[in-house]
Structure 1
Amino acid sequence: MASSPTLNAHNLARLIRTTAPHTAADGVGLDALDGIRFDSDGTHLHAIASDRYTVAVARARLITPGEPFARTVHCPDIAALRAWVDAHHGEAALTLTTEAGRLVLDGPRGTLRIPVTDGEKFPDWRKLLHTALADVPNDAPCTRWTSRLWERWQHANHEVHTWHAGGENPLIVVGTDVIGLQAPHRLRTPTLDQADTPADALDAWKTSLGTDTGQRLDLADALPQPRRTAHTAASTVPEKTEELLRQTLNATNGLFNAPSDDPGAVAAYALSGVHAWAAYRFLKALVKADPDLAADTAADLAEQLDSGEIGEWAWDAAVEAGHDPQQWADDRDQARAEKPSTTDTAATSG
């Protein structure tokens, strides 16, 4: 009987800490990426996470080799996993096993059973990395960066353009009313074993990535697409501005062309145009007051609209604001019940 894979608590904590920021915890329709995938090949335990825009793979060599397995711990359970691991001393040996619908961790402080879905599919991260590394010429200059400096660009617009001449040249960063440089990292810790070429990286990770089959798997094809409604909401301020102006003009045009004997259609067009124009004016004011907040709001709003759950959020928001949405619903239902139907109106007229 094969032994269970075991590794130190500090290594498992590092895997979680490294990959957790890359999960699609707030993604829309990305259930397969909503968590950290733990993949053991018997030699290393890998942690993989992606939000469709980034992919991160971290690994730690097992103290005791064991039977390979792959399970995804989803975001609602990651906090509990992290707390349980952090409760152990760094050198504590933790054992990972699987049972039906569970990933089981045993350590000096007890046992943790995390619910997982057996047989759950996950993107082929090995082939994805093979493809990405194969696209880089092996003689391409290698530049080292200090990753802790990347966060300094997080307020330089949502989208920036970058250029890099390679080697010791700085990275050029250009955004809206933002321009700057980031110098490469010139010093290297002697004990830090990192790859200088794509071939070096493949060699260093060959036990994890396996042999390249020659089949391509690009990022856009490898990762699941979010569920979308028929209408995909605008996610930037310029897109939202255009959408609101277009909606205002379409609604006001529809108002004049609506059947005069259909007051409901007339009211719907009027309400749509008024709300679109009001939203446009508020957006323009927000852009003037705080462009960054406007960009953040547009991106966040797009995710909410695409999710199709705004009715639930609106209900919660109404309650939080001190209103009674249930009374609103009751008033609406009563008004509908008191309104004569088209059939009744026609019968009365006859």
Structure 2
Amino acid sequence: MSLRGKTAIVGIGQTPYYKRGTAPDPEQKLALRAIVAACEDAGIDPRDIDGFVSYGSERNTGQQMLPALGLRDLRFAALAWTHGGGIPGALTIAAAAIVSGQAEIVVVHRAMAEGSNQRLQVAVTQDETPAQFLVNGVDFILARSAQRAMRLIHEGVPQECFEAIARAGYFHAQNNPGAMGHGHMLTLEAYAASRWIGEPLHLYDCSRESDAAAAVVLVSAERARDLRQKPAYLLSAPMGAGASQGSREDNHEPYTSVGMIGLADRLWRESGYGPSDVDVAQVYENFTPMAAMALIDHGFCTRESAGDVLTFDNLIAPAGKLPINTSGGNIADGFIHGMGLLPEAVRQIRGTSTNQVPGARLSLMTGGPGDSLTSTALLGSDETL
């Protein structure tokens, strides 16, 4: 049974981004604020929610949301394995629950607040880093991503592609008052002068850790047509891993892949579209080279053509051929394991982004690149069904 176009996102909600450890509310309250805002956006009573889905190390569970929101009934709750790779996959779990009749109104959400909870970086490192890396001083995700980035450069992708991705995020943040990078235009000179975090990654190649929460509301396509907002239909959101991707020793092939080659094939096959059809993309960039690899895996370019495709002018809205991260992305908007990318993907379909791509019909959103299990999603407007 195909899930293509059977469900739609009808509500989006976010709290402001706060510098890590400075949120005025504990993590659970941030989650509740985002969920209530998403319901208000959709015109749905929060008490009518009957399903929750999240991903990775989310600590705000469905059973906690049940009394906090005064739900009438909780019929479905699930968690996608892995970390930032699980966001689009969480959408598929929610869609499957709706189509199979297990729930009618499902919220996908994420919240992070360092002041009230252990930082997720600790959990990610413990889960994802094998002992042989730890004993050799490779004790956090950035270091392993830097190794892949060096291989990507060795195989012909110019480092200027990473700079273009970073600058595109900061460029878009200037039109988004809620972005943490708002008011800070990133120049070539500033990028080059920024300190190394792990060569070849500069400071501005790295996502900024934030406290915040975001949520989206999914319902059936039939119900979506009668609600307040223009629906963003879920055309495909495959989740999984290639045969060698489950190995955490980084010995998969090709080494420059972030595990999305097979997923992208499924995405294009299930949705009926291809890379050339996509109008705008929200690409998870924990680090800019990982975003470049995700774009290559999806077929937007090859390693050989990346230098011509992944340029600053090509990556910015409204005139670029492949505008990405139009709210600022993880790098310049804020970072809660990528969840902030999803509301922006929906805004592009609605036509309400602060960096709107004219006539956007197909909006891509990728999960965390390089996770042992990852996912990707394509959202579409009415005319794409």
Pair in the same fold by TM > 0.5: no
Q: Give the number of the structure whose alpha-carbon radius of gyration is greater.
A: 1
TM-score scaled to structure 1, two decimals?
A: 0.23
User: Which has the bigger relative contact order, CA under 8 A and spacing at least 6?
Assistant: 2
Q: Which has the higher helix share?
A: 1
TM-score scaled to structure 2, two decimals?
A: 0.22
